[in-house]
Amino acid sequence: MFRHSHPKFGDCLYYIVAGSAVLGSRVLKPGDGFFVPNGMPYKYRAGPEGVEILEFRAGGGVDDAPMLKLQEASVDSIQQITEIANGLHDQWGEPPAHIADTPNPSR
């Protein structure tokens, strides 16, 4: 995953359902979670068995901010992540029917 933030949508809480997620030197397993304050850049990678994560958004974002802000350090790292993702593409299942960064319609 690219280093990025979601400044339009506010704080996020992530919960590991299955597999593992690697954040720097930390390995998070099922039942673990992590918090990302609004606008804070972050990235993680799936462990060797993949990862299933629930994402909870608390709101409080900035209405005029971008939905996604890419903050990867270099073009080389973007190319490396893209090559890895392309190499694994055939192993991915179909995504859920409704997966998107969508604002709360009541706003």
Is pLDDT at 31 greater than 90 in this prediction? yes
Q: Under CATH, which architecture does the 4-90 domain have?
A: Sandwich (2.60)
Is pLDDT at 21 greater than 80 in this prediction? yes
pTM to 2 decimal places = 0.68
Count CB-CB contacts under 10 A for residue 53. 16
Confidence of residue 106 (pLDDT cuts 50, 70, 90): very low
Yes or no: say if 18 and 51 are a contact pair by the CB < 8 Å rule: yes
Yes or no: say if 58 and 12 are a contact pair by the CB < 8 Å rule: yes
Please choose, from the candidates 85, 72, 70, 40, the residue with its C-alpha nearest in 3D space to the C-alpha of residue 14: 40
Question: What token pair was written down for 50?
Answer: 């993949």
Count CB-CB contacts under 10 A for residue 39. 15
3-class secondary structure, 87: helix
Yes or no: say if 81 and 1 are a contact pair by the CB < 8 Å rule: yes
pLDDT of 20: 96
Distance CA 46, CA 27 (A): 9
pLDDT tens digits for range 37-81: 988 899 998 999 889 999 998 777 888 888 878 888 788 888 887
Confidence of residue 97 (pLDDT cuts 50, 70, 90): low
- The owner of tokens 């990025």 is 4
